[in-house]
């Protein structure tokens, strides 16, 4: 089975509205000469306040894409529909603003905002119930890696995130393996090691569901992905794309990463 590769840019807490619009349009320009079929699935995740402005730029670029060449994701959500949850944004609200995917369980949210696996599981279910795609992040700390508990930790994160999710929904999920020690540090995880962990994650999905679901789920690598690293990463059997932080903040480097992932498009 062929999985459509995905390159997702996580803009984190960067860019005012005008800057976000400029970045989006820069990416759109850089991809103008390619049709949707020639590209991986391209996703950008601006801050909530910039989502509407960015979505307004999702117009036909002249290639027949109907503005669908670049999808917009939220960086977080809350699982309740509405109510007295000051500061939170529901999945319906993110969808209403034009988001098609939502990143959940990023290590920064787990670390700085005390997000637990149980919360991530509730968010994943709410996202799937609304017909959106969750990008579920997982990954180990340097300490966990040095103590040899990487696989056990990630297995537990995935099992808890997917608890109670149906087989039908499970195949739509995107997982991002992001070793925490590689995020924003310039230290990329060795591509063979990233592929080994991603294969291990695929096996966890297979044990929870079946081979078809494991073959359908896209698993991205994240952590200091750059234009110089993407081709080697994409050459590995199980790496289906990348979740990109720092290098997604400049149109030219993000476009290079997107184009560098074309080896697996229609492969």
**Does 255 help bind ligand PGA (rule: CB under 6 A)?**
no
> Which of 5, 46, 179, 245 is in the footprint of ligand PGA by CB under 6 A?
245
**Does 244 help bind ligand PGA (rule: CB under 6 A)?**
yes
**Does 194 help bind ligand PGA (rule: CB under 6 A)?**
no
* Paired tokens of 246: 């720092």
Nearer CB in complex with ligand PGA: 41/209: 41
Question: Which residue in this structure is represented by tokens 């990008």?
Answer: 135
Q: Which residues, at least 6 apart from 181, have a Cβ–Cβ distance to it below 8 Å?
A: 140, 141, 142, 145, 187, 223
Kindly write out the interface string for residues 2-41 of this chain, putting x where it contacts ligand PGA by CB under 6 A and - elsewhere: --------x-------------------------------
Burial of 221 (0-12, 13-18, 19+ CB in 10 A): buried
Q: Which stretch binds ligand PGA (CB under 6 A): 30-38, 126-134, 218-226, 229-237?
A: 218-226
Residues 216, 1: contact at Cβ < 8 Å?
A: yes
Active-site residue identified among 41, 108, 140, 178: 178
Supply the DSSP string of 2-16, one letter for each residue. Answer: PPPPEEEEE--S---
Coil/strand/helix, residue 193: helix
**Does 225 help bind ligand PGA (rule: CB under 6 A)?**
yes
**Does 222 help bind ligand PGA (rule: CB under 6 A)?**
yes
**Does 183 help bind ligand PGA (rule: CB under 6 A)?**
yes
Coil/strand/helix, residue 62: coil
Nearer CB in complex with ligand PGA: 223/241: 223
Residues 6, 39: contact at Cβ < 8 Å?
A: no
Our answer to whether residue 178 is catalytic in this structure is yes
Active-site residue identified among 106, 108, 115, 140: 106
Our answer to whether residue 118 is catalytic in this structure is no
**Does 223 help bind ligand PGA (rule: CB under 6 A)?**
yes
Q: How far is CA 203 from the centre of its chain?
A: 20
Q: Which stretch binds ligand PGA (CB under 6 A): 21-29, 117-125, 141-149, 243-251?
A: 243-251
**Does 105 help bind ligand PGA (rule: CB under 6 A)?**
no
Q: Which stretch binds ligand PGA (CB under 6 A): 27-35, 39-47, 50-58, 223-231?
A: 223-231
Q: Tell me how far apart the alpha carbons of residues 121 and 12 are, in angstroms, rounded to a whole number.
A: 21
DSSP E strands in the chain: the ranges are 6-10, 41-45, 70-74, 101-104, 133-138, 174-177, 218-222, 241-244
Q: Tell me how far apart the alpha carbons of residues 188 and 32 are, in angstroms, rounded to a whole number.
A: 29
- Chain residues in the site for ligand PGA (CB under 6 A): 10, 178, 183-184, 222-225, 243-247
Give catalytic residues, as residue numbers.
Answer: 106, 178
């Amino acid at each position: 089975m062929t999985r459509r590769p995905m390159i997702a840019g996580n803009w984190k807490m960067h860019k005012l509205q005008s800057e976000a619009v400029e970045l989006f349009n820069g990416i759109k320009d850089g991809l103008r000469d390619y049709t949707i079929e020639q590209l991986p699935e391209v996703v950008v995740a601006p801050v909530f306040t910039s989502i509407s402005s960015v979505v307004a730029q999702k117009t036909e670029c002249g290639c027949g894409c109907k503005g669908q060449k670049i999808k917009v994701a939220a960086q977080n959500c809350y699982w309740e529909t509405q109510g007295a949850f000051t500061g939170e944004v529901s999945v319906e609200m993110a969808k209403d603003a034009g988001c098609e995917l939502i990143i959940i369980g990023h290590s920064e949210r787990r670390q700085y905002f005390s997000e637990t696996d149980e919360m991530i599981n509730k968010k994943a279910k709410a996202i799937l119930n609304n017909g959106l795609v969750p990008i579920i992040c997982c990954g180990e700390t340097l300490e966990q890696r040095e103590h040899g508990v990487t696989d056990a930790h990630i297995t537990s994160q995935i099992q808890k995130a997917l608890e109670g999710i149906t087989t039908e929904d499970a195949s739509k999920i995107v997982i991002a393996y992001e070793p925490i020690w590689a995020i924003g540090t310039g230290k990329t995880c060795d591509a063979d090691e990233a592929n080994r962990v991603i294969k291990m994650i695929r096996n966890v999905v297979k044990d929870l569901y079946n081979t078809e679901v494991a073959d359908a789920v896209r698993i991205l690598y994240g952590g200091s992905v750059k234009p110089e690293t993407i081709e080697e990463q994409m050459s590995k059997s199980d790496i289906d794309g990348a979740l990109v932080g720092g290098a997604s903040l400049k149109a030219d480097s993000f476009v290079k990463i997107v184009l560098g992932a074309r080896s697996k498009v229609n492969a």
